Structure 1
Amino acid sequence: MEGFCFARCRFTRLVVAMQLVMGVLVICISMASLHRFYTTDSLLPGGLDDPAHCARFHTAAAGGYAGFDIRALADRVDEVLVQLAELQDKLEATALKIGKKTKKRKGKAAQLQQENMTMPEFERFLEDEVIHPLYGAHIALRLIRIPRPDPEGSENGDAPAVDPLVNFFGAEETRKYVTGKRNREGRPGAYGVNRTYGTIGHACVLMRRELDEYMSYDVGALCPDDWDLGQRLMLGGCDPLPRRRCLARASKLFQRPLPINESLWTLPGDSNVRWSRYHCRGYRCLSARNPRRGYDRCVGCFDMDREKQRWMGNGGNTNTSLADFRIDEVLAVKPGEVRVGLDVTVGTGSFAARMRERGVTMVTTAVNVGAPFAETVALRGLVALYATLGQRLPLFDNSMDMVHTVGVLDGWVDLQMLDFVLFDWDRVLRPGGLLWVDKFACARKDLDDYMYMFLQFRYKKHRWVVSFKSRDEVYLSALLEKPPRS
């Protein structure tokens, strides 16, 4: 018993001793911290009494946040907080209303009447009052874009280039629209353009040297052979271009185009295209069998035999996947209702040619990325709209029966850029119109983000297919119907 008490007392003394040692260490560390705090000015030349050194000290500490626009961030966060507060108020009011039981008397008999929601009413309430506001708040947070200097934008490396006009506008949506949208993961674009600006004219300020070169010409004479310079300006965001007072050049050997029934599936003659700004000097060079054809976004676009098989089913093509939709199956969803549409593509107009055979007029957007796509579309007797993704479509609201896209967006496009594009497509698409997303290619890790962008409009799904392109890439094909809105 005495041994037990002795061991217990020794253990207690050991614990007390350790506590005393820890206390002494804490006191020493505290004294050292206080001493360093009060002698901080000794670390700065001139001490803290010098305002210049003090300002330099604080500036160096906050240098990592100098590029942020705090006001824009605060405005966006305030908007989201207001949305969430309104949603909370609605939910609390609805819960309070459901919790109450109203008693109504009829004569002398007391009846307890409960107000119950039907299932359709409950689903409508959840969708309109809960899911949609939460979704809007989520989108708002995901699309926060703080205008900041671009360290890679300076040409001389002396100072970072700042997007012009970004801080000129007060509305945050305008500021977002005019901020440059970099290609996803820094992927290179056509003609070396690695970002796209909204078409408000400010990108012409960034590209002043190119614009001055483009607008240097002899009034009334032939225009310089510089269409590729104009397209570089357009792709960079200086779009629409200013008008010029010179005469557009044409091929010296321009020949009469083929009749419409023959021109749809026949390559035009080489003499109708000015080849001076292309790697190739003829359509034969652009064949899919030529490994050095000078472009890579549209393999086989100039092979008419191959183009005839597209959107028509298997046709002996073993590469057909579940993401390939047939035109006849798509048109059967809205029989007789698809009359005019927009085809946003990189190609020679084969989709518009197929639709024309079925009595549907398609306007095809065409940009000459390494090959004469715009000229080829026009020479096939189809309507070629020379427009970039950054340009607001020159079409009126609710005027298109269909919007079809293939090979343009894919996985390089910035999410906020895609958001503006999709809303513009939604604007021109009529209620009940069809959005055909044709083999949208992206990395598997980015699929959820891109699907999120397409699903935000709550279109009716007629078809929705995801298939593998490779081990790390997938295709997304969808046929969606725009709902009526009032």
Structure 2
Amino acid sequence: MNYTPFSRCPSDLHLAESLILRGCHPLPRRRCFSPTTTPQTTPHKTHIFDDISRFLSYKSDLDLPIPQLLQIANTPLRLVLDVGAGAGAFAAAMKVRNITVLSTTMNLGTPNNEAAAQRGLIPLHVPLQQRFPVFDGVVDLVRCGHGVNRWIPMMALEFLLYDVDRVLRSGGYFWLDHFFSKGVDLQKVYTPLIGKLGYKKVKWATGNKTDSKNGEVYLTALLQKPVMR
């Protein structure tokens, strides 16, 4: 990236995200200044106030409303990691309950990080295949949303699952929220992969993906990490 030293930095978000998605983190900028955000560059309110009601209501067995989640956990949730969080709707719903949520999110043409920050949330600009920037065994709950699905290469998905295990505390919970795949793959590939973690099944619900043309199904699973191995 070319720029005049001690001047305004040109935007490198597209290049930076391309590198991050390939596992290469850009070096810190040297001797140029980040532009000041103006009203024209702030996220539109539709990105900031996305729908949080889906985390509060029960429509099918695939749903796990936050009140039910907290009742099932039966232990205080202090620190939560939301993987593939978008603009942070889940974190916003948890914030009113005084629960801290770290949200991993990429922009990819949509100002998700800016929207999450404007809601007073904590956006972590990291891709799915990166080691989580969180210490070992300190997270009470890890949620993986719609960003974690069958299009992730198997090696990357296995890496993600074992990094979830790394950051979860003993007895912590892993929530796979509306994971979708082909029905046969869920039975033969993904269920055995998830089973390798050795977690207790607290909730395991499947249902047909209504807009699918390839026989895809949804899985919502709440799993508990063993207290001792």
Question: Does the pair score TM above 0.5?
Answer: yes
What residue number does 1:226 align with?
12
Deviations 1:389-411 (A, max 9, x none): 12111111001001011011211
Contact 2:17–2:108 (8 Å) recurs in 1:
no
AA in 2 matched with 1:356: K
Pairs within 5 Å for 1:95-114: none
Q: Which of the numbers 384, 391, 415 marks the counterpart of 2:154? A: 415
Q: Which of the numbers 212, 226, 229 marks the counterpart of 1:483? A: 226
What residue number does 1:11 align with?
none
Are 2:207 and 1:467 aligned? yes
Contact 1:402–1:429 (8 Å) recurs in 2:
yes
Are 2:211 and 1:426 aligned? no
Other structure's SS at 1:437 match: strand
Are 2:29 and 1:244 aligned? yes
Contact 1:415–1:450 (8 Å) recurs in 2:
no
Pairs within 5 Å for 1:208-227: 214=1, 216-227=2-13
Other structure's SS at 1:231 match: helix
What residue number does 1:171 align with?
none
Q: Which of the numbers 366, 370, 376 marks the counterpart of 2:109? A: 370
AA in 2 matched with 1:457: L
Partners in 2 of 1:395 and 1:363 — Cα distance?
Answer: 9
AA in 2 matched with 1:312: L
What residue number does 1:196 align with?
none
Partners in 1 of 2:121 and 2:48 — Cα distance?
Answer: 17
Partners in 2 of 1:303 and 1:247 — Cα distance?
Answer: 26
Cα 1:303–1:442 shift into 2, 3 Å: farther
What residue number does 2:198 align with?
458
AA in 1 matched with 2:199: Y
Pairs within 5 Å for 1:75-474: 214=1, 216-238=2-24, 240-245=25-30, 246-253=32-39, 271-273=40-42, 283=44, 302=47, 304=49, 307-314=51-58, 320-448=59-187, 449-470=189-210, 472-474=215-217
Aligned residues: 224
Partners in 2 of 1:442 and 1:219 — Cα distance?
Answer: 49
Partners in 1 of 2:192 and 2:8 — Cα distance?
Answer: 49
Deviations 1:116-141 (A, max 9, x none): xxxxxxxxxxxxxxxxxxxxxxxxxx
Partners in 2 of 1:390 and 1:482 — Cα distance?
Answer: 21
Partners in 2 of 1:308 and 1:237 — Cα distance?
Answer: 31
Partners in 1 of 2:175 and 2:161 — Cα distance?
Answer: 12
Pairs within 5 Å for 1:45-64: none
Q: How well do the aligned residues superpose, as a CA RMSD in angstroms?
A: 1.9
Partners in 2 of 1:422 and 1:225 — Cα distance?
Answer: 33
Contact 1:367–1:388 (8 Å) recurs in 2:
yes
Contact 2:85–2:105 (8 Å) recurs in 1:
yes
Shift of 1:324: 1.1
What residue number does 1:59 align with?
none
AA in 2 matched with 1:357: V
Cα 1:390–1:217 shift into 2, 3 Å: farther
Deviations 1:234-271 (A, max 9, x none): 11221x22111121223234xxxxxxxxxxxxxxxxx4
Contact 2:61–2:205 (8 Å) recurs in 1:
yes
The structure whose Rg is larger is 1
Other structure's SS at 1:310 match: helix
Contact 2:48–2:116 (8 Å) recurs in 1:
no
More helix by proportion, 1 or 2?
1
User: Which stretch shows the higher mean deviation, 447-456 or 417-426?
Assistant: 447-456
More strand by proportion, 1 or 2?
2
Deviations 1:331-370 (A, max 9, x none): 1122342111100124211100111111211011110022
Q: What TM-score do the two structures reach when normalised by structure 1? A: 0.44
AA in 2 matched with 1:243: P
Shift of 1:272: 5.0
Unmatched 5+ stretches in structure 1? 1-213, 254-270, 274-281, 288-301, 315-319
Contact 2:202–2:224 (8 Å) recurs in 1:
yes
Higher relative contact order (CA 8 A, sep 6+): 2
Unmatched 5+ stretches in structure 2? none
